[in-house]
Structure 1
Amino acid sequence: METPTANLERERLLKLAQEYREKGYEVFFHPNPEDLPDFLNHYRPDMIVRRGKENVVIEVKSRSSLNSSSNQYLGNLAQAVEKHPDWRFELVMTNPEDTTYSLKAETSLQEHEIESQLQVAKQLTMQHPESAILYSWSLVEATLRLIAQKEELSLKKFDPRYLVNKLVTEGVISKSEYQLLMNALPLRNSIAHGFKTTQITQNYVYELIELIEQLLRTLHTGDEAG
């Protein structure tokens, strides 16, 4: 029996497959080894789509299914694909809000996992800034929860807007950091809900990643950001 997360990822994969078919692509679900080029013979991607000389390797993940092992796998897969002309890697993040999290059962990413996954976010930024901002935003929330825990703040919920407002009100993050996060949130929401946006640039995503790295450093220094 599939878990809610697996169902969510599968539904997103099926929707992507339909979108690519409508654009004239040939779709391979969980391709067999014989359908893969030699440089991918150590990988089992969720889907490959092809049209003419264009080949796309697609992985669909949700925040709750990411861990150190999957993060390393995705990073290696992205590097393997990007070395070959006519091939590109696409990581699609399902909407984290589609999954219900219990306050007691929540198992947030830890610092070393966030640092590791930031490397994948940086790789995605080069070619897929939309996917990168979804990925990065999940790391923002995990980082902010760690900071709230360190500051011994009581959180009534994990809603991102509530979390950001709580931390700026308590003086834990600066107003400039608050503004960057609040500017990024609607862009993240637009992408997560399937709306187009032309405001995402590589530099914008890098700013968000740099903020995450800066916030992670405060966990060691003990200094309040601001």
Structure 2
Amino acid sequence: MSGSMSRLEEAAIKALVPQLEAEGFEIFLHPSKSMLPPTLGDYRPDAIAVRPDRKIAIEVIADGYRQTAAGLKEVTLQRLQDSLKGHPDWELRVIYAPALSPESSIPTYSRQTIEEHLARIDGTLEAMGTEAALLSAWAVFEAAARAVAPHLLQRPRPGITEALAREGYVTPDEADILRGLSRVRSEVAHGRLDLTPTRDQVRDLIRITRGMLDGGEGTDHQSPQTSPAG
């Protein structure tokens, strides 16, 4: 993954995580060389899914990237597929990440749906592990932010913590916690295998998300008269 495509590719892989985990796989972004068949040489797939009897090399092609780099990518995919032929426990899976147009927006979910996801993460924290739990909890946090502050966060954009703090949806102390969690989440999502979030960090994010939902109900946060820049 590289450059402007990284967010799209990461989102596409994250969408696969619940299904793969339900099938017993553990997912690794940017896998190290030691985790791959030696026939791949220096090549790294975007992610791998691993369980004792089966392994999947995952390659992502982002929409909008196909026209400029699809030829190179197709050559790479063919080489990757050829390299895996001698390893019957490995398979190649290619997924396409649809680009978000400037006009497109992520749906806003109900409080009940958000609460159900928070409860599921909280209840299965030990089983799913803190890395997966933090990534999932951050996704739910962003969904909650869009639910309580749709005028700020109708589209994916940087500075979510600053936007929420500026209008009082989170406290200054909570904003400090979120900034730290955002850094941890980013490093874990991009392959920092030696970094393990703590249970308290995951539960802090769940707590802040629930507090934001409670504070957003019945409050009179007005949409600004002019749209934020960007």
Q: What TM-score results when the alignment is normalised by the length of structure 2?
A: 0.52
RMSD over aligned CA atoms reads 4.4
The share of aligned pairs that are identical, in percent, is 20
Residue 176 of structure 1 and its aligned partner are, at CA, apart by: 1.1
CA distance in 2, matches of 1:168, 1:210: 16
Amino acid at match of 2:119: Q
Which residue matches 2:69? none
CA deviation digits over 1:166-223, x for unaligned, max 9?
2212233210121111110010000111113435111111111111111111232427
Shift of 1:107: 3.1
Q: How far apart, in 2, do the equivalents of 1:139 and 1:156 lie?
A: 15
Structure 2 residue aligned with 1:158: 156
Amino acid at match of 1:142: A
Which is richer in helix? 1
**1:65-214 correspondence runs (5 A):** 100-110=99-109, 111-127=111-127, 128-149=129-150, 153-155=151-153, 157-159=155-157, 161-198=158-195, 200-214=197-211
Asked whether the 8 Å contact 2:188–2:195 carries over to 1, the reply is: no
The aligned counterpart of 1:76 is none
TM-score by length of 1: 0.53
Asked if the contact 1:129–1:200 (Cα under 8 Å) also holds between the matched residues in 2, the reply is yes
Q: Distance in 1 between matches of 2:99 and 2:166?
A: 26
* Rg comparison, structure with higher value: 2
- Alpha-carbon distance, 1:155 to partner: 4.8
Q: CA deviation at 1:156?
A: 7.9
Residues 219, 204 of structure 1: alpha-carbon distance in 2 compared, 3 angstrom cutoff: same
Q: Residue type of the partner of 2:207? A: E
- The structure 1 segments of at least 4 consecutive aligned residues displaced by more than 6 Å after TM superposition are 10-15
How far residue 121 of structure 1 moved from its aligned partner, in angstroms, is: 1.5
Distance 1:11 1:206 in 2: 24
Query: Measured at CA, do residues 124 and 190 of structure 1 come closer, stay the same or move farther in structure 2, by a change above 3 Å?
Result: farther
Cα distance between partner residues in 2 of 1:19 and 1:172: 37
The offset of 1:19, in angstroms, is 6.1
Per the alignment, residue 65 of structure 2 pairs with none
SS in 1 for 2:52: strand
- C-alpha separation between the residues in 2 aligned to 1:99 and 1:208? 28
Per-residue displacement from partner, 1:134-167 (whole Å, max 9, x unpaired)?
Answer: 0000111111112212xxx3558522x4222122
SS in 1 for 2:212: helix
Q: Unaligned stretches of 5+ in structure 1? A: 25-46, 61-97
Q: In the alignment, is the contact (CA less than 8 A) between 1:125 and 1:206 conserved in 2?
A: no
